[in-house]
Structure formats: C-alpha cells, structure tokens
Structure 1
Amino acid sequence: MKNILLSIGFIGWMVSCSQPETRIDLSGEWTVRIDSVHYKVILPGSLAENNVGYEPTDSATNMLSETYGYQGAAWYEKEVMIPSSWENRPVELYMERTKVSEVYINGKPVGSQNSVSTPHVYRIDSLFRAGKNQIAIKIDNTKSLLPLGGSHAYSAHTQTNWNGILGDFYLRVLPDISIRQLRIDTSVDGHSTVRISLVNHTKTPLENEEIRITVKDEKDKIVSQKEMLLNVIPGDSEYPMEINIPDPALWDEYTPTLYTFQIEIRGNDSKTVRSGIRNFTTRGTQFVNNGRTVFLRGKNECGIFPLTGYASMEIDDWRRYFSTIRSYGLNHVRYHSWTPPKAAFIAADEAGVFLQPELPLWGTYRETDTVLISYMKQEGRRIIEEYGNHPSFVMFSLGNELEGDTAIMASVIRELKEADQRRLYALGTNNHYWNPQTHPLEDFFVAMRHGKAAPDNSTDLRGSFSFADSDKGGIINCLVPNALRDFSSANQKLGKPAIGHETGQYQIFPNFEETSKYTGVLRPLNFMVFKNRLEQTGMGGQASAFLKASGALAALCYKEEIEMALRTPCFGGFQLLDLQDYPGQGTALVGILDAFMESKGVISQEKWTESCTDVVPLARFPKYCWNRDEVFTAEIQIAHYGQADITGKTVSCTLSTESGEAVYSKDIFCPVISQGQLHSLVTLDIPLNNIREPGKMKLQVALKETDYQNLWDIWVYPDYNATTIAEANFNGVTVTRDKKLFEKLYKADSPVLYIPMEKDIRERSVGGLFISDFWNFKVFKGVAESLGIEPSPGTLGLLVENPGHRIFNSFPTDSHTNWQWWHIVKNSRPIILDDMPADYFPIVQVIDNFDRNHKLGLIYQLPGSKALVCSSDLFACSNEPEVKALFHSLLEYLKE
C-alpha cells in the first residue's frame, strides 16, 4: 500500500513540477572595469571578443597574434532584479568556465574559486534582497596566481590566456533540498550504484523525503525505476541507491549507447545525467573495453581554437570536431595539460571516442611545493566529480612531461584512485623527458621512449624526434627504410599498455591561403611574415608546390609511423601531434589538417585511412628498392582492432605497375581473423625478372568485400652494375669530384657531372635530411645548440617540379620525396643557390624551412651549359640499386 500511495504522490508531484526551474539568465550586457576604465561587454564571452585589452608584444612569428590581449584583474558588474520569492532563500551562482574568480553581492564578499577545469558554483545566503541587486565578479587571469607551469589551460600559444566568463551563466534559487552532485557507478551486468550528494539548506532534519530514480534508454523508454524515503540531515550528505538495468547495452566506440538517469526529490530538486555502461581496463600490454581489445588511434588536443581563442562550450561544435577525427580513422583524444568543458564530453560520449583529460600542469612536482600539490589534488577531485559520469572519460593523467618527485606524483594518483576507480590513471604523459620510466601505481604509460635514448633506437616508442632528443632524428630518418621495424623492443618490457607520445611532428610548408579564415580574435601575422620572406627570395610562386610536396612527404612519414605502431604486437596505441596544425611554439605546422580542422589538400581522407583505421592490412618487407634479378619477399598481416571477429573473408595481394597492369596476384582465404590481434597470413615470394623497365610498382593488400585496403610503393631497376659509380669519362661525359676540373670543363662547355666533396661545399650548403623537419626549425635549433648538439638540417623534403624530365628516364620519381630517395638524400649536402637568378630553379630542389628560406639544390644544371651538379655523395652509397639507377640516368641525360 505504501508503494502505491508513493507512486500516486509522485504522479501528482510530477504534474505540479513540470514548469521550468526558477532561474535568472545572466547572459547579456555587463560592464567591465579595468584600471578604472569602464567598458560594455557581452557575456558569456572573453574580453578579446569584446575588443577589450591591449596590443600584445609577442613575436609575430612565434604564434598567432591576439587582436586584444589582457592579463590581470577585470571587474564584471551588473544590476540584477531579484523577485520577492527569492528573498532569504539560498541562491546559486553558476559560471561554467572562467579563471580565478571572486564574487561580491551588493558590495559584500561571497568567496573565491580557482578551478580552470570545472565550473565555479557559489552558494549565496541572505545577501540578495527583492528588487535591484548589484553583482560584481572579479576575474583574474594572472598566470602567477596558479601553479600551472606551461599548461595549455593558460598558454598564449594555443587557446590564449583569455579573461572572461564562458558557457552557462545564471542564478537559480535553491529548494530546501538541492542535489549537489550525482555519481553513477555501473557494471556491465547492469548493476548500478547512484550516489546522490544532497544539501539540506534548512537548519532542521527533513524526514520522509520522497526520492525517485528513473533510468531511460535512448528511445526514452523506462528500463528501471526505484523509489525510497530519506531522512535528510542539515547541510551536506550522501545517499547511495542501488538500481539494476536488465540486459544493458554497453558503451563502446561502435555502439556508444547512453542511458538517462533522472533523480527527483519531491517538491524540491531534480537532476538528469546521461551516462553509459562500459568496463575500460587493461589486459597485459593492451587496452580492453567490455572484453574487446582496443588499439588507441589518437591525437593531441592542445587547445587550438583560432577564432575564439578558447574551447567551445557548444555541443554541436564538438560534434563536428569528433566527426572529423572519426572520419580520419581516430578513436581517441588526449587533452594536453588541460581538461575540456562538458560539451566535449557529451559529444565524445555520443561519438564513441575515448578521452584522456589531464590536470592543468606542464611543470615540476617538488616536495616543498605544497601549494602546487594541494591545488592539483583539489583540481583532480573536481575534474572527476564534474565529468566522471561520462563514459568517454576513460583515462586521466597528471599533466604533460612532468619532472620532479615521482613519489609526490604517486601520492596524487593514489588519492584520485581511492576516490574514483571508473578510469585508468597515469602519473603523467612522457614524464622525466630524458629517461621516461613507468611507475607501479599507474595503469598505462605514455612516452616517446621507455628509458634513455639508445644508439639502436631500441627504447623508442615513436619514429621521429628532434635532433636534440635523438641521434639524427630517430628511426625513420636514421635507419634504412623497410617495412619490418616496430616498437617491440621497448613495448615488451613494460607489462602495461604503452602509447606513443606526440607521434609524428612532421612540418608542412605554410598554406598562405589559410590566412583568410582568421576572422576572430587571432591574426595570422606569422603567416604574413613567412609569405613576405619567401617572396623576397623570388620563390613566392612556389609556395603552393612547396605545400603539396612537403605535405606528401609528411603523409608518407605519418603512414610509416602509424604502421610501425600497428606492426608492434600487443601495442597500446599512439597519440599524434597532431592531426591538425599547432600555430604556436614557433609555428608548428605539423598537421595534415589546418588549425581549423580542415584539409590542406595534401592527402585525402580515403588515402589516410588506408593505414589509420580499425582494420589495417600490412605488408612487411626488408626494403623498398630492388633489382629485377631479385625475389621480392613480404609477410602479409592484418592488424584487426575492429568490432568483432572477421569470418569467411578473402585477402587479395596484387603487385602492379604504376599504370595498373598486374604482374602478380594471390588470394588468401581466411576462415577467421580474430579481433584484437596482429595476424600473419602468408609470405609472398614474387620474382621480379619479368619487369624490364625501371619503375615504381604498387603492392596492394585488400580485404575483399570491405573498404579495408592498403598500398605501398616499391621500385624495381635493371642491373646497372656495368656502369660503376666512379670518377671517369663515360662516352664523353666526365664525372668528377675535383672542383677545378669541373670549372674548367664547365667553361669549355663540355658535358660534366660534378659530385662535389663535402669540404668544398660545406660552407655554402646544409645537411641532408630525409624526413620533413621536426616541429619547428627555429625552436629545436635553439634547443640543440644549448645542448651542444648539431641541429637538424631543417629542410622539408624535395620538390621535383617536372617529374617527367628526361633526366629521370632511368630513375622514375614523383614530384615529392619518396622512399627511393632515402640513401641519396641522407648522403647529400644541398647547395645554397641564393645568388642564382630569381627565375632559376634546380631540377631537384630541396624545400627549406620558412624561417630560413634558402634556395637549395640537390641536382641542378648550370644555365646554358652541359654542366650538371649532384650534391649527393653517390660514391658513399654506390651499391644501392636506386643510386646506380640515378647515376645511369644522369649520365644518359648528359650524353644526349
């Protein structure tokens, strides 16, 4: 009988409480006071959006430039009409996101808050009166107020150190009992514990308060419901409620099912939370969600918002964001030293994206720094309380590249784990930069390597580095190209999942057409400076070609980075830095997408996802360049991290010419390709003796009747051993390394191929770099020099403006760098040709970085002569088939 009466009471109450919650929206016009000067502004928003602040003095080439910048205290003031029904009632002031705040009502202080990751919520007692009331909110974005180091929550390089109030902004009158917070702990069997944190704002206990919890599915159907009576003590209290969801649908990247949990306290408050049921954990060195092995294909989010200078509070903006990253094959985002707003979590929940927020720290933990330790513990608790119900929130880290006392870091993690075990924790991301080590307390490990740098790169967890961090730039730049290499050596010693930290970082030449997109608070003065510099060199007309060629090389290197991770058995994943450009820290244009998350046109989405998706065909072979008398050998694999086992499918393998003519094909029937594994299917042995002409071949591996396929270029050459690379006369063409002889033959208009000695060109050349330069030349040049290390050559790959030039008859090439150039480029010293006529360009040009802008020649012909210069030491790599082919091609060209 009691339950029947309770239900009848609830029906009547729900009808009577159907009106919107009583609140006052504070959005609109406010007055802001800075240094005794008053301005009118619109909130929510930032000072910069309201054209309030000062012209920044930062270097225009180091980052995007703010139109208006301001650091310090700003007083936001407004007169608000309060209804008589609110008088002597507790009132809540809610600011979704801001900086350090202080609140005053009618001149009286309410308090202060300092979270940069969660809302500022103030309870205001007995300060409002009926009628006009004055609200004053002091927002101070002074960096020194908080111990955040270089955190991207405040960084001028990314989302700017904005001052303002963002997102939801309101007052609401509180009932006698209000719901402060809900925590939902679920299990995959459907059992859920809902912990309800209540505040009794009266001074007396309230007995027999009726409370109901209702759970609905995505079709708004009630799947579970429970009611109970509570005796609520004055002040704060917490009450657990157990509820069961029969046969629950689980949340995953493929089925991001969400349930709606509604809590109602009759006559008082109600709260609705959408959450999902999942079990994200680890198994050995891999991640597992609901029993399905997960390979994290991630990107960093460094807080890049070029229109507003801050992260959007709108769900639709984040829906577009996650839709873009999913379309490029990614399923994971790491937030570099900051935590996004609730809109990002909501959108990620819907999209099935795994998130790794971080505490707002890029700095050092010291035992004596009690202010930092206390703040990070508090901020960590606030973050997991505010966003912990979101199923996308699967991982948490203490910050970026932390230094200092590991025991202190562990104490913070221990406290957070004790408070909330719904996710995995790490002590930090790439901690102890020069010697990253995992800690027993952390559940996963994110680093660029495991341990110190090793001469054989055996500790590396990614393929590229700055020259300051690794000998000559890491695996891809240093080791002879092949499709065998992976990160097994470092990964197998960890005992927990490892994720490659900030993978990639390959520069792409600026897209100067992007500047028209900057219509908000940031101006691309850096792009304008770079464009003017290029035009002054006479190479302004090559900007588009530089963009495409450097972008093609970057895409090639990213493909190899990602495939190295996929070729690693039982690997955890990677986090790109980045899918999009990072327009700060020297201007790091390392994305295949621009800062607006839009394509630069350097690689299509379809081509990118051949190697970056959940199921990827792989081919493992020892080299890219072959003689026609060899047998091409490749082990065919499938990296399968999709939704479920694949059954009854056929894998096709085809080797074809560039024109599409197949020279070999083989089908492999696969009864079962198990989910969560790297499968070896077959080893191919393909004789190449039927290939008569030098050419680029394409190896394709495809899973028939699906969209999964992958392709690799290989090169096959006739045996040019008859033409030995040497200083000699070849049918009237002189090959020499003697500078004086070259000059003599050049003046005599005799055919000559000059391959200079390094000592003769060192002062007017740069080093040979295969990969596109890491991150930003100027930044890491300074780092390397401070460490006494030779900096990177700083180049961005090759530009061959005319790949059909007859000089390449025996050495087919693209307009950009590809693997057949590796030995040639690595043994080169591109020559500075700045003194050549403005309209003169090398046959093979090396693209310089946009800070230096040299006109660089790898292969060029002196104007009006038969003199050809090749600044690669072909003698040093003379046994390679592609080097012999290039030498033969150069000679044949000069003979004509």
Structure 2
Amino acid sequence: MKKILKLSCVALLMFSCTPTESIIDLSGEWEVKIDSIQCKVMLPGSLAENKVGCQPKDSATNTLTETYSYQGAAWYEKDIEIPDSWQNHPIELFMERTKVSEVFINGTFLGSRNSVSTPHIYIIDSLLKTGKNNIRIKIDNTKSLLPLGGSHAYSEHTQSNWNGILGDFHLRKLPDICIQQIRIDSPSDGNCLITVSLFNYLEETSKGIKIAVMDSENSKVAEEVVNASIPQGKSEHTVKVRIPVPQLWDEYTPYLYNFRIEIPNYDSRYVQTGLRDFKTAGTQFINNERVIFLRGKNEGGVFPLTGYPSMDINDWKRYFETIRSYGINHVRFHSWTPPQAAFYAADETGIFLQPELPLWGTYQEKDTTLISYMKQEGKRIIQAYGNHPSFAMFSLGNELEGDTAIMASIVKELKQYDKRHLYILGTNNHYWNPQPHPVEDFFVAMRHGKATDNNSTDLRGSFSFADSNQGGIINCNAPNTKRNFATAIQNMDKPVIGHETGQYQVYPNFEEIDKYTGVLRPLNFMVFKKRLENTGMDAKAKDFLKASGALAALCYREEIEMSLRTPQFGGFQLLDLQDYPGQGTALVGILDAFLESKNVISTEKWNEFCNDIVPLARFSKYCWNTDETFVTEVQITNYGQSDIKDKIISCTLSTEDGGILYSEDIGNAAIPQGRLSTFKSLHIPLNHIKESQKLTFRIALKNTSYHNSWNIWVYPRYDKIREGVIDGVTVTRDSKVFAKLYQGEKPVLYIPKEKDIKGQSVGGLFISDFWNYKVFNNVTKSLGKESSPGTLGLLIENPEHGIFNSFPTDFHSNWQWWNIIKKSSPIILNEMPKDYYPIVQVIDNFERNHKLGLIYQLPGTKALVCSSDLFAIADEPEVKALFHSLLNYLKTEKKQK
C-alpha cells in the first residue's frame, strides 16, 4: 500500500515549510571539553563514537563493554554565523535527543532542559546577533541528576549511559506568527479534532489558518480555512475538520493521512498520522471495533553497535518488519520511550506501542522531585509523540513500588491531559502481589495476586526460582495442552497482559562476537568462550546452542499457546524475541542482539503458534500407550482481520516418515473474529501401533497458510521397572553392588539414589534456565530459597544410539523427557577425559560449565549409569519404555572402548 512519507520524520512534525535559509544545520565538527581533555568531535553522535572517554581495564560479564566510557559533564562548543535575514527574529535551538543540557549563547546562560525522552527545544529571543556567535552546550549524563532508578533510558545494561547529542540538531528562524504545536484527536464518530497552538510575535492580528488533509494516494480529502484572531504571545485555537475517513489505521491497514496546517506567508507544518479508535471492552482490547490480541515483545534498548537508539526511520522499519515476520504486533518499551523515528516506523508497519516513563523505582509521597519530574516527562512524551496512531498505551514505568495513590493521581492527570491512549500505573507493579487499580485501563503483570503452590495466579509459564516454586507452571506441572491462565484472570474487568513472558536461556553463539564492530565490545562472550575452552568442551559449543535453542523455542511455544488458549485474554509481552546482553548477560532470544536469527527455529515454524490465527489442540498428555485412545479437542483462535467462513479444518495424525495414521476434515467451519472457538473432540485409537513411535498431530485450515502441529509419543505397555537380574542384566540402585560389577563381563544398569550422589550432581530442570544463572542464584540465596539447577536442557548427539531402540528421541529435550529430567540428578563428570561425552548430556550454564551426564556408559565396560530416579516415576509409559530400551541395549552391547 502506498503511504505518505514525503519528509523526514522530524521534518513532518517540527520543521517550518519556509525557505531553506530558515534552517542552520548544526551537525558537523564541534569542540568538546571533558575534565582536562579538549578535542574535536562530530555531532550528532556520542562521545563513545568519537572515541572520547575512558577505556575499561577489566573484562565484564554483566554487560557488553563500552570501548570508551564517560559519565559527567561534557562541554560542546562552536561558533555559528547568523545571517542578516535572521535579525530581530526569535530562533529555536533543537536537539532531538540528549541528556541533561544547559545552553550558553555568547557566554550568557540561556536555560536548561532535563528530558531523556523528548527533544530539547530552546527559544532564543535576543542573545543571538547577526554575524559570528558562540554556542556552548553542557551535556551531563550523571545518573544522580535525575530520579530514574534503574530506567533503561540511562542503563549501561542496555543502550549504555551515552553522552552526546543525537538525531536532528539545528537552529531555526521562527516566523513572526509561528505554529508551535499540533494535536490531532480521532474520536469514534469519525471527526478528527485539530488543536493548533501558536506563537505571535507581532501585534494582535486576524489570520486565516488553512488546513488541508491528503490521503495515502496523495489525494485531497478535505480543506478548510478558519479565520482566527491571534493575540500577541502564546494562544491556543481549536478548529474542527470533518474527514470522511475511508479507512482507519490498524495492524492490517496502517492507513496514514498527511495534514498540512498553514498560515499563508508565515508558517506551515506537516503532521502524518492515522485515525483509530483504540479502547477496551471487558477483558479485551478493541481497535476500530475489531478485537485484537497483543502478541508483544519487550524492548530493553539493545543497540549493540551504537549504544543508543537509532534516529533513522529506516532502521526502525527494519526492526518492526523483522518482528512482524515472527507474528509480533506489539512492542513494550521497558522504562523508556523511543525516538520519533520509531513511532513513524510503527505507524507504517502497523505495530501497537507501549512507551513508558523512564522509571524503574519507587513512588513515595515525600519524593516531590520524582513526582514532579514524571508528571512533566509524561506530558512532554504525549506532546512530542501523541499524534502517532501506534502510540496506543502508556505506562508509568517498570515494576514500580511505593504509594499506589500517587501513581493513580499521575495517571488521572495524564488521562485528563490526553485521552488518546490507554494508561496503566506501571508494568508489573508490586510484583510480589500485583493487583489492578480502578483507574487503570488494562493490567500487565506476571501474576494476579500472590504466588500459590498450584500456580493458579500466574500469568506466564516460567519464573525464577526466587519468584516461584520450581520455576513456574511449565517446569512444575506435567505437560499437557489443556492448561491456560483462565483462573488467574477470573473476575477481572479489564484486559490482562502477561508480563515478560518466557526468559529462557540459549547457550551463547560465539560466532556472534565478530558482529560487534561498534562502540560496544562482547567481552562477556569472550570470557564465556574461554571458560568453555578450559573445560575441553569448546567443540560442543554449536551443539549446545542448537539443542538449548530448540528447548527454548519449545518452551516459548507452550508459553504463547497457553496465552492463546485463555479465553478473553489480552496478550503477552515476551522477554524476549531477542537477547538482552545486560543484567548478567541474558541470552533469552531466538534472535541475537542484532535481531538476527540464531537458526534454532525457522520463521515459518514460529509462525505456526505465534500468529493472528492459530489452530490449537487440547489433550491431556504427550505420552500414551498403544492400548489407549488419543483424545484431543480441536480449537482455533482467530484474532485476524475478520470472521472466517466456510473453511475446512484438516486434522491428521502421522508418523515420522510421513505415513498417515488418521485423517479427518471438519467442513464448513465458521470461525468468528476475536475469540477462541472449539469445533470437535477427536478420539483416535492407537491400538494399530505396534512399536514405540513419535507421531505428529496436525491441524490446518485448508487453502490458507495457517496450520499447527504437536508431537506425541506412543509406546507398547512394557514390563514394570524393578531391581535384580533381568535377562542377564543386573539392575541396581546400590552403589556398592555397582562398584563390584561395573568392570566385569556382565552388563549392569546403575540407577543411583539421589542421596548417594548428592554433592556430585545438580538438580533436574526441564525448562532452560530462567534469564541468567548468576543473577538469580544470588537472589535465591539471599532469600534463603532453593536455587535453580541452572541447566539448559539435553544434548543427545546421536539420537540413533542403541539405547533409544524403544525410546525415540530428538537431539534435544522434548516433552517425553519431562518426567525423566524432573526426577534426575545429572552427575558431574568433570574428571572424565576431555574427549569423553555422555550419551545423554545435560547442558550446563556458562557460569559453571560442568560436564553433566544423565545417561552414560563407563569407558571399557558394559555398565550404564542413568541418573534419573526411574523408580519414582515407574508408572509413566515413557519411563517404562526408556527402561526397556536401556535393558535391550545392554543385552547385546559389547564393552565401550
């Protein structure tokens, strides 16, 4: 679709359309002084980009490392020629994004600004003269100057605490009658209200204000001239323009209008915007009367080349187009607000944004400085970016604590100031007991209320061990596709979004190191790589990446499907689709910090479950016996563009080689938009299956791209698990018996008791460890709680190995391993030869780097060790199958060499 974007994003909002001589571009070479250093730098840019600052001496694993780092005051200075034509005109100094600034004109203090979210604009009435003038700008990125807590606007964990001036940087001669601000509201009745704020440096006068509106094909939609009496000084006038609104803005048709507001012979401004009606209805979000489900990601400010967010619309378009390709339609900016370019790019690509005030901290009544700053910053953000249709939601910050009444008062004030957005008091506030507040339009939290033993209040599937017993639903509760978050949202009267969903670690991709060609260095990656080399396991790095990534993708699938299975749910905000190389190094993405694929899951496979329309199967377990009947409910969630009518739903159960065991079509299906629909329960007998197999159940909407699939595992009913001699194989749990037998000629299977290997093993963890082992291990210890085992799933280098003859497996963890892993105590094998690897290896985190064995054969023997307590889970079909498979292998296997 053709959309209007004739000017740069800054020009559309900020520039006058008077002749080019009204602008002096300030980009270029400036003098800078910090401490005793004085040198030349190029602006716009940061000190780090100009190689100014201190070089760190120590390798850090907590964050990426700035090549040049500086915190404090930097003085930027330049002489500027002011033309004669500017004489007696007010002049605007515009800095698109910077830190706390002070401006001096010809040695005289002009003023200061402290926004970290919006442009710094100074009006210079008389200090500039024609000819040469000196401009001196102090930029101070000292954190203590502002009450931002851990905000990502200033954090070295993300975009770095840069010092500099970014984006558009210019002087502008203001006309005698000047348009200062334009606000465009789009009420649900289709009429948009245009509010124009003016400066008048002349006598009181009457002028005609001309408003023209162009559509996406550059055709005129409306034009109107309104005569207004303009007093001297600032004045506000409201003019109404009725627009037919042939199309509204949404994620499918991001339709944009170009508004030109002109005071003939004086000033004119362009504003590009779209009209939409974004609201809530009960527990769901509505845009233009269509129910939307927010499939979101967190944006923590990860910019690995520059250390700061791009001011270029094309960079942000690439960003949003990439995440759209993964089914994402929503971005939450964690405790910061992006620059104007991001809003324009989101407008064009149809992404719903949730910017936030720059706060990760506490509201207290006595902290009047913080309260005042956040109120001002909130209004500045709304003024600067409020016309963008993508600006749909606004939050007071991340995981706020303190006085809820103060937060509510700020939201009320911002709502009164601008009703175009939905507001919340904060994202995951009071995270030990998150509760919605009546003034909030929606609710974002990791759970609704306090944690419970049965996870009934959880709004996501995984947690750190510090926040939840055993790390949440997916690691705690036996796997099935029936679970959802319905209990947690019962009695809610507003939309609910799961907060920071996921956070599954993936092993580092050391090939990523070469991508860091900018101001940030991956010393953390280099340290982790060296640690692995010291263990002798560096040859396994790519396998660790691939296997841990496959598990992370499996867990993200379950997280997302749990959200989609929840009727009337509002959405989720992943943490994250991409890595977060801060806070201990959290490699939690299926994409790296550069938003490039790690090749652990394809876009097409991800889109099966992260999409606007997703087929869902609801069954009670993943592992079945051949004398059972596979029972599943067929559902489809439709948050697409419209209702779906007269479609055929195809259901198949197939083998790994593609053989069809069962097929059924559900014809003439009507799938309403905005809801989860159930169609049929299928009962598929499994008694014609004679051997252990992995099967695939698939649901597809015929003649569309929408389909989804799940693996199940089917086993014959094998004999019970027991100790003793079984067909010549000794099965023992006694360490002394094993010590006598393992070097003999007869095969032996040792399944140790947990107490016998305590101290030489770690715990059993199915999910990939949450966020970062070091960070949350320290937190759990400080709270006196049990730490996570810290592992990243299984690596099975040879899935065709003989021990799997009756237990089909992938090269990575999958659901048939859940019980086995949960009851395991992976044994530390660091003393084994460096070239020795267990048959089933548990991948350790990059802090410890243990060589961990779940199932392994001792060199030169017929002895197998299985460090999962199979006796504790002996009734599970997959456990019996694994036991049978191990025995069969030992019956025929020679000594391992």
Normalised TM-score (structure 2): 0.97
1:501-556 CA distance string (max 9 Å, x none): 00000000000000100000000000011011001101000000000000000000
SS in 2 for 1:379: helix
- Kindly indicate whether residue 506 of structure 2 is the aligned counterpart of residue 511 of structure 1: no
- Kindly indicate whether residue 571 of structure 2 is the aligned counterpart of residue 568 of structure 1: no
**Amino acid in the other structure paired with 1:618:** L
Relative to structure 1, the CA distance from residue 17 to residue 388 in structure 2 (aligned partners, 3 Å threshold; closer, same or farther) is closer
Q: Distance in 2 between matches of 1:58 and 1:187?
A: 56
- Kindly indicate whether residue 625 of structure 2 is the aligned counterpart of residue 635 of structure 1: no
Q: 5+ residue gaps in structure 2?
A: 1-15, 893-897
Per the alignment, residue 96 of structure 1 pairs with: 96
* 1:231 positional shift: 1.6
Q: Distance in 2 between matches of 1:111 and 1:50?
A: 26
**Amino acid in the other structure paired with 1:51:** K
Q: Give the one of 415, 429, 444 matched to 1:417.
A: 415
1:547-595 CA distance string (max 9 Å, x none): 0000000000000000000000010000000000000000000000000
Per the alignment, residue 225 of structure 1 pairs with: 223
Is residue 87–residue 126 contact of structure 1 (8 Å, CA) maintained in 2?
Answer: no
Per the alignment, residue 9 of structure 1 pairs with: none
- Kindly indicate whether residue 869 of structure 2 is the aligned counterpart of residue 864 of structure 1: no
Is residue 743–residue 862 contact of structure 2 (8 Å, CA) maintained in 1?
Answer: no
Equivalences for 1:405-554 in 2 at 5 Å? 405-554=403-552
SS in 2 for 1:109: strand
Q: Distance in 2 between matches of 1:685 and 1:584?
A: 48
Per the alignment, residue 893 of structure 1 pairs with: 889
SS in 1 for 2:134: strand
Q: Give the one of 818, 822, 825 matched to 1:822.
A: 818
* 1:188 positional shift: 4.1
Is residue 17–residue 268 contact of structure 2 (8 Å, CA) maintained in 1?
Answer: no
Per the alignment, residue 654 of structure 1 pairs with: 652
Per the alignment, residue 193 of structure 2 pairs with: 193
* 1:60 positional shift: 1.2
Per the alignment, residue 881 of structure 1 pairs with: 877
Equivalences for 1:727-766 in 2 at 5 Å? 727-766=723-762
Is residue 54–residue 69 contact of structure 1 (8 Å, CA) maintained in 2?
Answer: yes
SS in 1 for 2:637: strand
Is residue 625–residue 882 contact of structure 1 (8 Å, CA) maintained in 2?
Answer: yes
Equivalences for 1:322-471 in 2 at 5 Å? 322-471=320-469
Per the alignment, residue 32 of structure 2 pairs with: 32
Q: Distance in 2 between matches of 1:19 and 1:144?
A: 42
Q: Give the one of 799, 805, 815 matched to 1:803.
A: 799
Q: Give the one of 841, 847, 858 matched to 2:843.
A: 847
1:335-355 CA distance string (max 9 Å, x none): 000000000000000000000
Per the alignment, residue 183 of structure 2 pairs with: 183
**Amino acid in the other structure paired with 1:131:** G
Is residue 751–residue 868 contact of structure 2 (8 Å, CA) maintained in 1?
Answer: yes
The percentage of counterpart residues that share the same residue type is: 70
Per the alignment, residue 261 of structure 1 pairs with: 259
Q: Distance in 2 between matches of 1:866 and 1:348?
A: 62
Is residue 749–residue 867 contact of structure 1 (8 Å, CA) maintained in 2?
Answer: no
Per the alignment, residue 6 of structure 1 pairs with: none
Per the alignment, residue 559 of structure 1 pairs with: 557
Q: Distance in 1 between matches of 2:236 and 2:745?
A: 93
Q: Distance in 2 between matches of 1:479 and 1:233?
A: 69
Per the alignment, residue 82 of structure 1 pairs with: 82
Q: Distance in 1 between matches of 2:184 and 2:874?
A: 66
Q: Distance in 2 between matches of 1:673 and 1:758?
A: 51
Per the alignment, residue 4 of structure 1 pairs with: none
* 1:59 positional shift: 5.3
Is residue 696–residue 714 contact of structure 1 (8 Å, CA) maintained in 2?
Answer: yes
1:712-758 CA distance string (max 9 Å, x none): 000000110xx221111101100001001001001323210000011
Deviates more, 1:863-872 or 1:744-753: 744-753
* 1:236 positional shift: 1.1
Aligned residues: 877
Relative to structure 1, the CA distance from residue 672 to residue 728 in structure 2 (aligned partners, 3 Å threshold; closer, same or farther) is same
Q: Distance in 1 between matches of 2:881 and 2:425?
A: 52
Calculate the aligned-residue CA RMSD, in Å: 1.0
Q: Distance in 1 between matches of 2:667 and 2:155?
A: 53
Is residue 58–residue 65 contact of structure 1 (8 Å, CA) maintained in 2?
Answer: no
Q: Distance in 1 between matches of 2:142 and 2:488?
A: 41
Is residue 17–residue 269 contact of structure 2 (8 Å, CA) maintained in 1?
Answer: no
Is residue 461–residue 500 contact of structure 1 (8 Å, CA) maintained in 2?
Answer: yes
Q: Distance in 2 between matches of 1:780 and 1:238?
A: 53
Q: Distance in 2 between matches of 1:58 and 1:557?
A: 36
Relative to structure 1, the CA distance from residue 246 to residue 58 in structure 2 (aligned partners, 3 Å threshold; closer, same or farther) is farther
Deviates more, 1:17-26 or 1:740-749: 17-26
Is residue 190–residue 248 contact of structure 1 (8 Å, CA) maintained in 2?
Answer: no
Q: Distance in 1 between matches of 2:79 and 2:725?
A: 92
**Amino acid in the other structure paired with 1:91:** I
* 1:495 positional shift: 1.1
SS in 2 for 1:664: strand
Q: Distance in 2 between matches of 1:700 and 1:228?
A: 61
* 1:21 positional shift: 5.9
Normalised TM-score (structure 1): 0.97
Q: Give the one of 784, 787, 795 matched to 2:783.
A: 787
1:99-156 CA distance string (max 9 Å, x none): 0000001001110000000000000011111111100000000000000000000000
Is residue 189–residue 247 contact of structure 1 (8 Å, CA) maintained in 2?
Answer: no
SS in 1 for 2:608: coil
Is residue 860–residue 870 contact of structure 1 (8 Å, CA) maintained in 2?
Answer: yes
Q: Distance in 2 between matches of 1:842 and 1:468?
A: 31
1:861-886 CA distance string (max 9 Å, x none): 00010010000000000000000000
* 1:248 positional shift: 3.0
Q: Distance in 2 between matches of 1:403 and 1:593?
A: 32
Equivalences for 1:55-134 in 2 at 5 Å? 55-56=55-56, 60-134=60-134
Deviates more, 1:558-567 or 1:29-38: 29-38
Per the alignment, residue 682 of structure 2 pairs with: 684
**Amino acid in the other structure paired with 1:710:** N
Q: Distance in 2 between matches of 1:220 and 1:567?
A: 43
Q: Give the one of 658, 662, 665 matched to 1:664.
A: 662
Q: Distance in 1 between matches of 2:169 and 2:801?
A: 64
**Amino acid in the other structure paired with 1:329:** G
Q: 5+ residue gaps in structure 1?
A: 1-15
Per the alignment, residue 147 of structure 1 pairs with: 147
Q: Distance in 2 between matches of 1:736 and 1:364?
A: 57
Q: Give the one of 668, 672, 675 matched to 1:674.
A: 672
* 1:36 positional shift: 3.1
Per the alignment, residue 9 of structure 2 pairs with: none
SS in 1 for 2:357: coil
Relative to structure 1, the CA distance from residue 484 to residue 671 in structure 2 (aligned partners, 3 Å threshold; closer, same or farther) is closer
- Kindly indicate whether residue 43 of structure 2 is the aligned counterpart of residue 47 of structure 1: no
- Kindly indicate whether residue 588 of structure 2 is the aligned counterpart of residue 590 of structure 1: yes
Q: Distance in 1 between matches of 2:36 and 2:478?
A: 65
Q: Distance in 2 between matches of 1:689 and 1:848?
A: 40
Structure 1 segments, 4+ long, off by >6 Å, are: none
SS in 1 for 2:541: helix
Q: Distance in 2 between matches of 1:344 and 1:639?
A: 30
Per the alignment, residue 268 of structure 2 pairs with: 270
Q: Distance in 2 between matches of 1:57 and 1:577?
A: 31
1:471-497 CA distance string (max 9 Å, x none): 000000000000000000011222110
Relative to structure 1, the CA distance from residue 17 to residue 502 in structure 2 (aligned partners, 3 Å threshold; closer, same or farther) is closer
SS in 2 for 1:74: strand
1:229-278 CA distance string (max 9 Å, x none): 22211221110000011143100000000001110012211111011110
